[in-house]
Amino acid sequence: MKLQFIIDNIIKDKYNSEEKYLDFSIFEDDLNISYMDLDNVNYEKNNDLRAYFISSHLCTDTDVGIKAYFLKEECVCVTKQTARKSPEVIFGWVSEELAQKTKDYILSLIHEKNNELNIDILDLNFDMKDGYGVEYTEQMTSKVVFYKGETCTVLEDKSNGYTNFHNIKIEFKNKEIEIDVRDCVTPFRIIQNQNMFKR
């Protein structure tokens, strides 16, 4: 008996159908569909891809055997499963065109991707002031700080790492003074300030 004859005369009723248990993962390799896409398939929308047994036998409590898959009443491929715990394997496709149609159909069932964005838009006119503050001297990366409106060179880290974590010595108006690092501002890392940073 020719395969074509069997396909043309296969029983297409709910008793011979596996439509409730279709697993599209069997198409992953043949149709080059990623498992991530297959995980997002909405099976509830599948109204056109069906599988019917050509032959079957009972393995424990599960029907297994040779099946023909139909897309909109047109046979696209034939598969075989020898046991309940064995993988279902595709024997072959009726044509390359029908394989492509099957792939396109499966991809059409993927849950609609959420194209909405959940973002905040920057206010590019927001005033960032002249720089930013640091809490501890060990956090500093700049050789220069802004202090009381003046640009000052950092001369020395005066913290001891035990009781004093905040003091630095700077040159302010031609004088060396000791200040709390929290009272000055570190310049932003922009081209105009690039010589102010430690290298």
Q: pLDDT per residue over 26-81, tens digit each?
A: 888 888 887 777 777 787 888 889 998 988 887 888 888 888 899 998 999 999 89
Two tokens, residue 136? 């501890």
Closest CA to 164 of 143, 149, 147, 179: 179
Domain C-terminal end among 75, 93, 108: 108
Q: Do 33 and 101 reside in the same domain of the chain?
A: yes
Number of domains the chain contains:
2
On the 0-12 / 13-18 / 19+ scale of CB atoms within 10 A, 104 is exposed
Q: Do 96 and 27 reside in the same domain of the chain?
A: yes
Q: Do 102 and 9 reside in the same domain of the chain?
A: yes
Q: Do 68 and 163 reside in the same domain of the chain?
A: no
Closest CA to 152 of 169, 164, 166, 165: 169
Q: Check residue 199 and give its pLDDT.
A: 58
Q: Do 26 and 98 reside in the same domain of the chain?
A: yes
Q: Do 101 and 137 reside in the same domain of the chain?
A: no
Q: Which helix (H) or strand (E) holds 171?
A: strand 167-172
SS3 92: strand
Rounded CA-CA distance 182/166 in Å is 7
Domain extent at residue 86: 3-108
On the 0-12 / 13-18 / 19+ scale of CB atoms within 10 A, 145 is buried
Report percent pLDDT > 70 for the chain. Answer: 92
Q: Give per-residue pLDDT as tens, 108-149.
A: 888 654 444 456 778 888 888 888 899 999 888 889 999 999
